Structure 1
Amino acid sequence: MDTIIFDFDGTLFQTEKLVIPSFEKTFARLQAEGYYIGKKFSEEELLSVIGKTLEDIWQTLLPHLSLEAHKKANDYMLHYEIEGVSEGYGALYPQVIETLLQLKNQGYRLFVASNGLETYIKELAKAFRIDHYFEAMYSAGEFETKSKNDLVKKLVQDYSIENGVMVGDRQSDVEAGKTNKLFVIGCDFGFSSKDELKNADVVIQSFDQILAVLNG
Protein backbone atom coordinates (compact mmCIF):
# COMPACT_ATOMS: atom_id res chain seq x y z
CA MET A 1 0.00 0.00 0.00
CA ASP A 2 1.47 3.30 -1.08
CA THR A 3 -1.45 5.75 -1.08
CA ILE A 4 -3.80 6.95 1.67
CA ILE A 5 -7.09 8.79 1.15
CA PHE A 6 -8.45 10.56 4.23
CA ASP A 7 -11.93 11.74 4.99
CA PHE A 8 -11.83 15.20 6.60
CA ASP A 9 -14.60 15.78 9.17
CA GLY A 10 -14.44 13.31 12.04
CA THR A 11 -11.16 11.87 10.77
CA LEU A 12 -8.64 14.71 10.59
CA PHE A 13 -10.74 17.49 12.05
CA GLN A 14 -12.84 17.70 15.24
CA THR A 15 -15.74 19.19 13.36
CA GLU A 16 -18.24 19.44 16.20
CA LYS A 17 -16.33 22.32 17.78
CA LEU A 18 -16.91 24.37 14.64
CA VAL A 19 -20.02 22.95 13.00
CA ILE A 20 -22.48 23.05 15.91
CA PRO A 21 -22.25 26.84 16.41
CA SER A 22 -22.22 27.31 12.61
CA PHE A 23 -25.43 25.29 12.27
CA GLU A 24 -27.07 27.30 15.04
CA LYS A 25 -26.14 30.64 13.44
CA THR A 26 -27.31 29.41 10.03
CA PHE A 27 -30.72 28.35 11.37
CA ALA A 28 -31.07 31.66 13.23
CA ARG A 29 -30.36 33.61 10.05
CA LEU A 30 -32.77 31.50 7.99
CA GLN A 31 -35.44 32.16 10.61
CA ALA A 32 -34.72 35.89 10.67
CA GLU A 33 -35.12 36.03 6.90
CA GLY A 34 -38.35 34.05 6.96
CA TYR A 35 -37.06 30.91 5.29
CA TYR A 36 -37.44 28.63 8.28
CA ILE A 37 -39.74 28.38 11.26
CA GLY A 38 -39.32 25.11 13.03
CA LYS A 39 -37.74 22.97 15.69
CA LYS A 40 -34.43 23.49 17.38
CA PHE A 41 -32.18 20.56 16.56
CA SER A 42 -30.29 18.68 19.23
CA GLU A 43 -26.52 18.35 19.07
CA GLU A 44 -26.97 14.63 18.47
CA GLU A 45 -29.19 15.29 15.44
CA LEU A 46 -26.69 17.75 13.99
CA LEU A 47 -23.71 15.45 14.52
CA SER A 48 -25.57 12.60 12.84
CA VAL A 49 -25.48 14.36 9.45
CA ILE A 50 -21.79 15.24 9.45
CA GLY A 51 -20.10 13.47 6.57
CA LYS A 52 -23.08 13.76 4.24
CA THR A 53 -23.07 16.07 1.23
CA LEU A 54 -24.63 19.45 1.96
CA GLU A 55 -27.50 18.55 -0.35
CA ASP A 56 -28.22 15.48 1.78
CA ILE A 57 -27.77 17.44 5.02
CA TRP A 58 -30.46 19.96 4.11
CA GLN A 59 -32.73 17.25 2.72
CA THR A 60 -32.42 15.50 6.08
CA LEU A 61 -32.76 18.51 8.38
CA LEU A 62 -34.86 20.88 6.26
CA PRO A 63 -36.70 18.70 3.72
CA HIS A 64 -39.63 21.08 3.26
CA LEU A 65 -37.58 24.15 2.41
CA SER A 66 -37.11 25.40 -1.13
CA LEU A 67 -34.00 24.94 -3.25
CA GLU A 68 -33.39 28.67 -2.81
CA ALA A 69 -33.42 28.26 0.97
CA HIS A 70 -31.01 25.32 0.74
CA LYS A 71 -28.62 27.43 -1.35
CA LYS A 72 -28.86 30.21 1.24
CA ALA A 73 -28.10 27.65 3.95
CA ASN A 74 -24.99 26.54 2.02
CA ASP A 75 -23.73 30.11 1.79
CA TYR A 76 -24.44 30.93 5.43
CA MET A 77 -22.95 27.68 6.71
CA LEU A 78 -19.71 28.24 4.81
CA HIS A 79 -19.52 31.86 6.00
CA TYR A 80 -19.96 30.93 9.66
CA GLU A 81 -17.53 28.01 9.43
CA ILE A 82 -14.75 30.16 7.95
CA GLU A 83 -15.56 32.90 10.47
CA GLY A 84 -15.46 30.33 13.27
CA VAL A 85 -11.97 29.18 12.33
CA SER A 86 -10.71 32.77 12.53
CA GLU A 87 -12.30 33.01 15.99
CA GLY A 88 -10.52 29.89 17.21
CA TYR A 89 -13.23 27.26 16.86
CA GLY A 90 -12.36 23.76 15.71
CA ALA A 91 -9.26 21.63 16.11
CA LEU A 92 -7.40 18.75 14.56
CA TYR A 93 -7.54 15.43 16.36
CA PRO A 94 -4.52 14.67 18.56
CA GLN A 95 -1.41 13.51 16.67
CA VAL A 96 -2.76 14.38 13.21
CA ILE A 97 0.16 16.59 12.19
CA GLU A 98 2.79 14.28 13.66
CA THR A 99 1.24 11.24 11.96
CA LEU A 100 0.86 12.93 8.58
CA LEU A 101 4.50 14.00 8.76
CA GLN A 102 5.65 10.45 9.48
CA LEU A 103 3.51 9.02 6.69
CA LYS A 104 4.86 11.60 4.25
CA ASN A 105 8.43 10.85 5.31
CA GLN A 106 7.76 7.14 4.76
CA GLY A 107 6.85 7.89 1.15
CA TYR A 108 3.07 7.57 1.22
CA ARG A 109 1.02 9.64 -1.21
CA LEU A 110 -1.66 11.44 0.82
CA PHE A 111 -5.05 12.71 -0.36
CA VAL A 112 -8.30 14.05 1.08
CA ALA A 113 -11.78 13.06 -0.14
CA SER A 114 -14.60 14.92 1.60
CA ASN A 115 -18.30 15.47 1.03
CA GLY A 116 -17.85 19.09 2.14
CA LEU A 117 -17.55 22.28 0.11
CA GLU A 118 -14.27 22.99 -1.68
CA THR A 119 -13.63 26.29 0.12
CA TYR A 120 -14.41 24.75 3.51
CA ILE A 121 -11.96 21.86 3.08
CA LYS A 122 -9.13 23.86 1.56
CA GLU A 123 -9.44 26.85 3.89
CA LEU A 124 -9.51 24.68 7.01
CA ALA A 125 -6.58 22.57 5.82
CA LYS A 126 -4.64 25.76 5.20
CA ALA A 127 -5.67 27.35 8.50
CA PHE A 128 -4.51 24.30 10.46
CA ARG A 129 -1.35 23.97 8.37
CA ILE A 130 -1.89 20.51 6.96
CA ASP A 131 -2.63 21.41 3.33
CA HIS A 132 0.96 20.87 2.19
CA TYR A 133 0.90 17.21 3.23
CA PHE A 134 -1.66 16.34 0.55
CA GLU A 135 -1.09 15.78 -3.13
CA ALA A 136 -4.71 16.78 -3.76
CA MET A 137 -7.87 17.51 -1.79
CA TYR A 138 -11.08 16.37 -3.48
CA SER A 139 -14.50 17.56 -2.35
CA ALA A 140 -18.08 16.93 -3.37
CA GLY A 141 -18.49 20.68 -3.57
CA GLU A 142 -15.78 21.00 -6.21
CA PHE A 143 -16.69 18.01 -8.36
CA GLU A 144 -20.45 17.97 -7.69
CA THR A 145 -20.46 14.28 -6.88
CA LYS A 146 -23.58 12.79 -5.32
CA SER A 147 -21.86 10.25 -3.07
CA LYS A 148 -18.54 9.49 -1.41
CA ASN A 149 -18.31 6.42 -3.68
CA ASP A 150 -18.30 8.63 -6.76
CA LEU A 151 -15.84 11.13 -5.30
CA VAL A 152 -13.32 8.45 -4.30
CA LYS A 153 -13.77 6.73 -7.66
CA LYS A 154 -12.84 9.95 -9.45
CA LEU A 155 -9.79 10.48 -7.26
CA VAL A 156 -8.64 6.87 -7.74
CA GLN A 157 -9.02 7.17 -11.51
CA ASP A 158 -7.41 10.62 -11.77
CA TYR A 159 -4.30 9.55 -9.85
CA SER A 160 -4.15 5.92 -11.03
CA ILE A 161 -4.33 4.58 -7.49
CA GLU A 162 -4.03 0.79 -7.46
CA ASN A 163 -2.86 -0.07 -3.96
CA GLY A 164 -4.47 2.36 -1.56
CA VAL A 165 -6.06 2.88 1.83
CA MET A 166 -9.28 4.70 2.75
CA VAL A 167 -9.40 6.25 6.23
CA GLY A 168 -12.70 7.55 7.57
CA ASP A 169 -15.27 7.56 10.35
CA ARG A 170 -18.61 7.01 8.59
CA GLN A 171 -20.30 4.15 6.79
CA SER A 172 -20.04 6.16 3.56
CA ASP A 173 -16.24 6.11 3.91
CA VAL A 174 -16.22 2.35 4.41
CA GLU A 175 -18.49 1.82 1.41
CA ALA A 176 -16.42 4.16 -0.76
CA GLY A 177 -13.25 2.31 0.15
CA LYS A 178 -14.70 -1.14 -0.44
CA THR A 179 -16.40 -0.14 -3.69
CA ASN A 180 -13.11 1.22 -5.00
CA LYS A 181 -11.06 -1.79 -3.84
CA LEU A 182 -9.17 0.03 -1.09
CA PHE A 183 -8.05 -1.26 2.30
CA VAL A 184 -10.33 0.48 4.82
CA ILE A 185 -9.29 1.87 8.20
CA GLY A 186 -12.30 2.93 10.27
CA CYS A 187 -11.89 5.74 12.79
CA ASP A 188 -13.81 5.09 15.99
CA PHE A 189 -13.08 8.53 17.41
CA GLY A 190 -15.19 10.58 15.02
CA PHE A 191 -18.94 10.54 14.45
CA SER A 192 -19.56 6.89 13.69
CA SER A 193 -22.58 5.28 15.29
CA LYS A 194 -22.89 1.65 16.26
CA ASP A 195 -22.10 -0.78 13.43
CA GLU A 196 -21.10 1.93 10.90
CA LEU A 197 -17.54 0.63 10.81
CA LYS A 198 -18.30 -3.09 10.99
CA ASN A 199 -17.15 -3.68 7.40
CA ALA A 200 -13.84 -1.83 7.76
CA ASP A 201 -10.72 -3.97 7.51
CA VAL A 202 -9.46 -2.56 10.79
CA VAL A 203 -10.78 -0.01 13.31
CA ILE A 204 -8.59 2.43 15.23
CA GLN A 205 -9.33 4.45 18.37
CA SER A 206 -6.81 7.24 17.81
CA PHE A 207 -5.35 8.80 14.69
CA ASP A 208 -1.75 7.81 15.33
CA GLN A 209 -2.71 4.11 15.37
CA ILE A 210 -2.65 4.34 11.57
CA LEU A 211 1.13 4.00 11.82
CA ALA A 212 0.91 0.70 13.68
CA VAL A 213 -1.62 -0.66 11.17
CA LEU A 214 0.48 0.25 8.14
CA ASN A 215 3.86 -0.62 9.63
CA GLY A 216 2.76 -3.75 11.47
Structure 2
Amino acid sequence: MKQALIFDMDGTLFQTNLILEPALIATFDVLRKNNLWDEDTPIDTYREIIGVPLPVVWKTLCPSHTLLIREKSNEIFQEKLIELIKAKKGSLYPNAEFVLERLSIDNSLYIASNGQEAYLQAIVDTYDLNRFIKKVYSIQSISSGQKSDLVKKVMNENYITGGAVIGDRLSDIMAAKDNKLTAIGVNFDFAQAEELKQADKVIDHLIELL
Protein backbone atom coordinates (compact mmCIF):
# COMPACT_ATOMS: atom_id res chain seq x y z
CA MET A 1 0.00 0.00 0.00
CA LYS A 2 1.48 3.33 -1.06
CA GLN A 3 0.66 6.32 1.14
CA ALA A 4 0.59 9.86 -0.19
CA LEU A 5 -0.09 13.37 1.02
CA ILE A 6 -1.84 15.55 -1.56
CA PHE A 7 -1.64 19.28 -0.89
CA ASP A 8 -3.72 22.14 -2.15
CA MET A 9 -1.62 25.19 -3.07
CA ASP A 10 -3.51 28.48 -2.57
CA GLY A 11 -4.24 29.19 1.07
CA THR A 12 -2.55 25.94 2.10
CA LEU A 13 1.12 26.07 1.11
CA PHE A 14 1.24 29.47 -0.56
CA GLN A 15 0.00 32.72 0.99
CA THR A 16 -2.02 33.87 -1.99
CA ASN A 17 -3.46 36.73 0.05
CA LEU A 18 -0.12 38.55 -0.24
CA ILE A 19 -0.34 38.88 -4.03
CA LEU A 20 -4.08 38.66 -4.54
CA GLU A 21 -4.94 42.29 -3.96
CA PRO A 22 -2.26 43.90 -6.17
CA ALA A 23 -2.88 41.36 -8.97
CA LEU A 24 -6.63 41.92 -8.89
CA ILE A 25 -6.25 45.69 -8.76
CA ALA A 26 -3.88 45.60 -11.74
CA THR A 27 -6.30 43.40 -13.68
CA PHE A 28 -9.33 45.56 -13.00
CA ASP A 29 -7.29 48.67 -13.81
CA VAL A 30 -6.90 47.22 -17.29
CA LEU A 31 -10.64 46.54 -17.46
CA ARG A 32 -11.37 50.10 -16.39
CA LYS A 33 -9.05 51.49 -19.06
CA ASN A 34 -11.01 49.51 -21.60
CA ASN A 35 -14.37 50.72 -20.20
CA LEU A 36 -15.24 47.19 -19.06
CA TRP A 37 -15.50 48.00 -15.35
CA ASP A 38 -16.50 51.12 -13.39
CA GLU A 39 -16.70 49.88 -9.79
CA ASP A 40 -14.23 49.05 -7.03
CA THR A 41 -12.08 45.94 -7.46
CA PRO A 42 -14.11 43.03 -5.98
CA ILE A 43 -11.37 41.76 -3.68
CA ASP A 44 -13.68 40.63 -0.86
CA THR A 45 -15.84 38.67 -3.28
CA TYR A 46 -12.80 36.84 -4.59
CA ARG A 47 -11.59 36.00 -1.09
CA GLU A 48 -14.93 34.34 -0.42
CA ILE A 49 -14.63 32.05 -3.42
CA ILE A 50 -10.90 31.42 -3.66
CA GLY A 51 -10.25 27.77 -4.36
CA VAL A 52 -13.10 27.31 -6.82
CA PRO A 53 -12.33 26.69 -10.53
CA LEU A 54 -11.24 29.84 -12.38
CA PRO A 55 -14.21 29.89 -14.80
CA VAL A 56 -16.46 30.10 -11.73
CA VAL A 57 -14.26 32.87 -10.30
CA TRP A 58 -14.69 35.12 -13.30
CA LYS A 59 -18.36 34.33 -13.74
CA THR A 60 -18.84 35.42 -10.13
CA LEU A 61 -16.66 38.51 -10.31
CA CYS A 62 -17.91 39.68 -13.71
CA PRO A 63 -21.40 38.24 -14.23
CA SER A 64 -22.26 40.77 -16.96
CA HIS A 65 -19.17 40.09 -19.07
CA THR A 66 -19.05 37.76 -22.04
CA LEU A 67 -17.12 34.51 -21.86
CA LEU A 68 -14.45 36.01 -24.13
CA ILE A 69 -13.91 39.01 -21.83
CA ARG A 70 -13.79 36.74 -18.77
CA GLU A 71 -11.16 34.57 -20.40
CA LYS A 72 -9.09 37.61 -21.30
CA SER A 73 -9.48 38.98 -17.78
CA ASN A 74 -8.19 35.70 -16.38
CA GLU A 75 -5.19 35.80 -18.72
CA ILE A 76 -4.29 39.26 -17.46
CA PHE A 77 -4.80 38.17 -13.86
CA GLN A 78 -2.55 35.15 -14.30
CA GLU A 79 0.19 37.32 -15.82
CA LYS A 80 0.03 39.74 -12.89
CA LEU A 81 0.11 36.92 -10.33
CA ILE A 82 3.12 35.29 -11.96
CA GLU A 83 4.98 38.60 -12.09
CA LEU A 84 4.42 39.04 -8.36
CA ILE A 85 5.43 35.46 -7.56
CA LYS A 86 8.69 35.76 -9.49
CA ALA A 87 9.38 39.05 -7.74
CA LYS A 88 8.90 37.17 -4.43
CA LYS A 89 6.06 39.41 -3.32
CA GLY A 90 4.28 36.30 -2.09
CA SER A 91 5.42 33.73 0.44
CA LEU A 92 4.94 30.16 1.58
CA TYR A 93 3.22 29.71 4.92
CA PRO A 94 5.48 29.55 8.00
CA ASN A 95 7.47 26.30 8.26
CA ALA A 96 6.16 25.08 4.88
CA GLU A 97 9.57 24.08 3.52
CA PHE A 98 10.65 22.46 6.78
CA VAL A 99 7.42 20.48 7.03
CA LEU A 100 7.53 19.38 3.39
CA GLU A 101 11.14 18.28 3.78
CA ARG A 102 10.35 16.19 6.85
CA LEU A 103 7.20 14.68 5.38
CA SER A 104 8.89 13.81 2.10
CA ILE A 105 11.25 11.42 3.89
CA ASP A 106 8.53 8.84 4.53
CA ASN A 107 5.69 9.99 2.26
CA SER A 108 5.09 10.76 -1.40
CA LEU A 109 3.98 14.38 -1.72
CA TYR A 110 1.85 15.82 -4.52
CA ILE A 111 0.03 19.06 -5.24
CA ALA A 112 -3.51 19.09 -6.64
CA SER A 113 -4.69 22.63 -7.25
CA ASN A 114 -7.42 24.62 -8.95
CA GLY A 115 -4.66 26.96 -10.10
CA GLN A 116 -3.46 27.05 -13.69
CA GLU A 117 -0.29 25.26 -14.76
CA ALA A 118 1.91 28.31 -15.42
CA TYR A 119 0.88 29.89 -12.11
CA LEU A 120 1.63 26.73 -10.13
CA GLN A 121 4.93 26.24 -11.92
CA ALA A 122 5.95 29.78 -11.02
CA ILE A 123 5.46 29.00 -7.33
CA VAL A 124 7.25 25.66 -7.59
CA ASP A 125 10.20 27.21 -9.42
CA THR A 126 10.47 30.28 -7.18
CA TYR A 127 10.58 28.21 -3.99
CA ASP A 128 12.24 25.11 -5.47
CA LEU A 129 9.44 22.85 -4.26
CA ASN A 130 10.53 20.03 -6.57
CA ARG A 131 12.92 19.16 -3.76
CA PHE A 132 9.94 17.72 -1.93
CA ILE A 133 7.00 17.41 -4.33
CA LYS A 134 6.92 14.49 -6.75
CA LYS A 135 4.45 16.10 -9.17
CA VAL A 136 2.11 19.09 -9.46
CA TYR A 137 -1.39 18.60 -10.87
CA SER A 138 -3.43 21.52 -12.19
CA ILE A 139 -7.18 21.53 -12.65
CA GLN A 140 -6.41 22.24 -16.30
CA SER A 141 -5.41 18.61 -16.72
CA ILE A 142 -8.96 17.29 -16.35
CA SER A 143 -12.09 18.13 -18.30
CA SER A 144 -14.60 18.11 -15.44
CA GLY A 145 -12.97 20.94 -13.48
CA GLN A 146 -13.69 19.08 -10.23
CA LYS A 147 -11.07 18.73 -7.47
CA SER A 148 -12.33 15.23 -6.63
CA ASP A 149 -11.56 14.08 -10.17
CA LEU A 150 -8.14 15.75 -10.02
CA VAL A 151 -7.25 13.89 -6.82
CA LYS A 152 -8.52 10.68 -8.40
CA LYS A 153 -6.13 11.29 -11.31
CA VAL A 154 -3.23 11.79 -8.89
CA MET A 155 -4.08 8.49 -7.21
CA ASN A 156 -4.53 6.51 -10.41
CA GLU A 157 -1.35 7.75 -12.08
CA ASN A 158 0.78 7.10 -9.03
CA TYR A 159 -0.85 3.89 -7.76
CA ILE A 160 -1.88 5.53 -4.50
CA THR A 161 -4.21 3.57 -2.24
CA GLY A 162 -4.18 5.63 0.94
CA GLY A 163 -3.17 8.91 2.52
CA ALA A 164 -4.63 12.36 2.98
CA VAL A 165 -5.63 15.55 1.21
CA ILE A 166 -4.54 18.76 2.94
CA GLY A 167 -6.40 21.93 2.00
CA ASP A 168 -8.34 24.95 3.17
CA ARG A 169 -11.64 24.71 1.31
CA LEU A 170 -14.61 22.37 0.98
CA SER A 171 -13.47 21.18 -2.45
CA ASP A 172 -10.31 19.78 -0.83
CA ILE A 173 -12.26 18.11 1.95
CA MET A 174 -14.74 16.53 -0.46
CA ALA A 175 -11.94 15.45 -2.79
CA ALA A 176 -10.48 13.49 0.13
CA LYS A 177 -13.77 11.92 1.13
CA ASP A 178 -14.80 11.09 -2.45
CA ASN A 179 -11.53 9.21 -2.86
CA LYS A 180 -11.56 7.57 0.57
CA LEU A 181 -8.61 9.58 1.89
CA THR A 182 -8.26 11.47 5.17
CA ALA A 183 -9.39 15.09 4.92
CA ILE A 184 -7.12 17.51 6.78
CA GLY A 185 -8.41 21.07 6.82
CA VAL A 186 -6.05 24.00 7.35
CA ASN A 187 -7.51 26.91 9.26
CA PHE A 188 -5.67 29.63 7.35
CA ASP A 189 -6.60 32.87 5.59
CA PHE A 190 -9.39 31.73 3.28
CA ALA A 191 -10.77 28.84 5.31
CA GLN A 192 -14.45 28.83 6.27
CA ALA A 193 -15.49 27.46 9.66
CA GLU A 194 -18.57 25.71 8.30
CA GLU A 195 -16.52 23.97 5.63
CA LEU A 196 -13.79 22.88 8.04
CA LYS A 197 -16.37 21.11 10.19
CA GLN A 198 -16.52 18.42 7.50
CA ALA A 199 -12.81 17.66 7.68
CA ASP A 200 -11.52 14.64 9.60
CA LYS A 201 -8.88 16.80 11.27
CA VAL A 202 -8.19 20.55 11.38
CA ILE A 203 -4.81 22.21 11.92
CA ASP A 204 -3.92 25.83 12.65
CA HIS A 205 -0.26 25.57 11.61
CA LEU A 206 1.52 23.37 9.05
CA ILE A 207 3.97 22.20 11.73
CA GLU A 208 1.08 20.21 13.24
CA LEU A 209 1.25 17.83 10.27
CA LEU A 210 4.41 16.37 11.76
Q: Residue 113 of structure 1 contacts residue 137 of structure 1 at CA under 8 Å; is this kept in 2? A: yes
CA distance in 2, matches of 1:142, 1:132: 22
Q: Distance in 1 between matches of 2:149 and 2:192?
A: 23
Question: What is aligned with 2:27?
Answer: 26
1:126 lines up with 2:125 in the alignment: yes
Moved more, 139-148 or 180-189: 139-148
The one-letter code sitting in structure 2 at the alignment partner of 1:163 is G
2-structure distance, mates of 1:144, 1:55: 12
Aligned partner of residue 164 in structure 1, secondary structure: strand
List aligned pairs for 1:50-65, cutoff 5 A.
50-65=50-65
**Preserved contact between residue 166 and residue 182 of structure 1 (Cα < 8 Å):** yes
Structure 1 segment 7-156 matched on structure 2, within 5 A: 7-34=8-35, 36-105=36-105, 107-156=106-155
Range that drifts further, 130-139 or 175-184: 130-139
TM-score (norm 1): 0.92
Deviations 1:35-94 (A, max 9, x none): x22431454322112111110100111112111111111210111011112333110000
DSSP-derived class of the 1:94 partner: coil
**Closer, same or farther in 2 for the Cα pair 1:84/1:193, shift >3 Å?**
same
Contact 1:20 1:46 in 2 (8 A): no
Percent identity between the two aligned chains: 34
Of residues 10-19 and 136-145 in structure 1, the stretch that sits farther from structure 2 once superposed is: 136-145
Structure 1 partner of 2:180: 181
8 Å contact 2:19–2:89 — kept in the other structure? yes
Runs of 4+ in 1 over 3 A off after TM superposition: 142-145
CA RMSD of the aligned region, Å?
Answer: 1.4
Distance in 2, matches of 1:43 and 1:64, equals 17
Provide the rounded CA distance (Å) in 2 between the counterparts of 1:102 and 1:59: 40
Higher mean displacement: 42-51 or 92-101: 42-51
Distance, in Å, in 2 between the alignment partners of 1:145 and 1:138 is: 14
